[in-house]
């Protein structure tokens, strides 16, 4: 065998030996354990969806937004700004309101009506001569706006409810009055005494009224009414 052939054989054997050693070392090597994802990494937290408003309950002290379980999500005082109220109801109803000037009348200054179908938020202009006057009112002519129920008071009176016994608001009478030729009574759906009495000893109070037709069915909710015991 020539020296060149012998050299090539030795080189081949050396290469095979080196490869075998490398394979052996690889098989014996201990790999580091992978991190336990459940033990070392924090679970990703995504903000849960806000509960949807299911009911707008109009009270004599404030208006409460409730979820489907009746849990209070927020309370909107009558002293809230127009911007805050419009934002809250836009979010609750899922739609922007139409906006229209309210002309006012002899006992009420003008303002702006923000209306969703069957639900109107009325914000009056301030009057320096009547600094304590309430500037926020509600006029409701529907039992719901979309999927959101509109109710009044703890009994959840709605447009369309039948009121068997009309409870008059403070300072008012259960006797019917003629409105556009229709005998109408006004039921106090919620009352909030504000403290004090008038010269006759009658309590001063705010209340939510429900207009009741001759058939005993509520046709409109209105807030806020004020009674000065007269």
Which residue is associated with the tokens 């030729």?
Answer: 181
**pTM of the model as a whole:** 0.76
- Planar angle of CA 178, 182, 186, nearest 5 degrees: 65
Kind of pairing, strands 148-152 and 55-58?
parallel
CA torsion 84-219-59-146 (nearest 10°) is: -50
Q: What is the pLDDT of residue 45?
A: 45
Mention every residue, 6+ apart, whose C-beta is less than 8 A from residue 111.
Answer: 101, 102, 104, 122, 123, 124, 125, 135
- Bridge partners of 119, per DSSP, are 116, 140
Residue 155: how many other CB atoms lie within 10 Å: 12
Q: How far apart are CA 219 and CA 230, in angstroms?
A: 26
pLDDT at 203: 78
pLDDT tens for the chain, 230 residues long, are: 444 444 443 443 344 344 444 444 344 444 444 455 444 444 444 455 788 999 999 999 999 999 999 999 999 999 999 999 999 999 999 999 999 999 998 888 899 999 999 999 999 998 777 666 789 999 999 999 999 999 999 999 999 999 887 888 887 777 889 989 999 999 999 999 888 887 777 778 999 999 999 999 999 999 999 876 54
pLDDT at 16: 39
Q: What is the pLDDT of residue 40?
A: 46
The answer to whether 152 touches 142, Cβ cutoff 8 Å, is: no
All structural domains of the chain with their residue ranges: 55-227
**3-state secondary structure string, the chain?**
CCHHHHHHHHHHHHHHHHHHHHHHHHHHCCCCCCCCHHHHCCCCCCCCCCCCCCEEEECCCEEEEECCCCCEEEEEECCCCHHHHHHHHHHHHCCCCEEEEECCECCECCEEEEEECCEEEEEECCCCCCCCCCCEEEEECCCEECCEEEEECCCCECCCCECCCCCECCCCCCCCEEECCEEEEEEEEEEEEEEEECCCCCEEEEEEEEEECCCCEEEEEEEEEEECCC
At 151, give phi and psi (nearest 5°): -130, 170
What pLDDT is stored for residue 145 in this prediction? 98
At residue 122's C-alpha, the angle toward residues 164 and 51, to 5°, is 75
């Amino acid at each position: 065998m020539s020296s060149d052939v012998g050299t090539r054989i030795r080189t081949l054997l050396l290469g095979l030996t080196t490869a075998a050693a490398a394979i052996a070392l690889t098989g014996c090597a201990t790999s580091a354990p992978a991190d336990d994802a459940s033990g070392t990494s924090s679970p990703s937290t995504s903000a849960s969806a806000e509960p949807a408003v299911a009911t707008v309950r109009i009270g004599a002290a404030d208006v409460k937004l409730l979820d489907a379980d009746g849990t209070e999500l927020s309370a909107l005082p009558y002293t809230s700004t127009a911007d805050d109220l419009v934002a809250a109801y836009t979010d609750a109803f899922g739609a922007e309101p139409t906006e229209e000037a309210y002309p006012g009348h002899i006992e009420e200054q003008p303002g702006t009506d923000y209306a969703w179908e069957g639900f109107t938020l009325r914000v009056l202009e301030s009057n320096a001569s009547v600094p304590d006057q309430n500037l926020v009112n509600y006029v409701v002519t529907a039992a719901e706006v979309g999927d959101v129920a509109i109710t009044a008071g703890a009994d959840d009176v709605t447009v369309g409810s039948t009121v068997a016994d009309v409870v008059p608001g403070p300072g008012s009478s259960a006797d019917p009055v003629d409105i556009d030729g229709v005998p109408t009574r006004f039921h106090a759906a919620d009352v909030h005494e504000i403290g004090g009495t008038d010269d006759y000893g009658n309590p001063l109070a705010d209340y939510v009224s429900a207009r009741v037709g001759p058939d005993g069915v509520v046709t409109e909710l209105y807030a806020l009414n004020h009674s000065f015991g007269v």
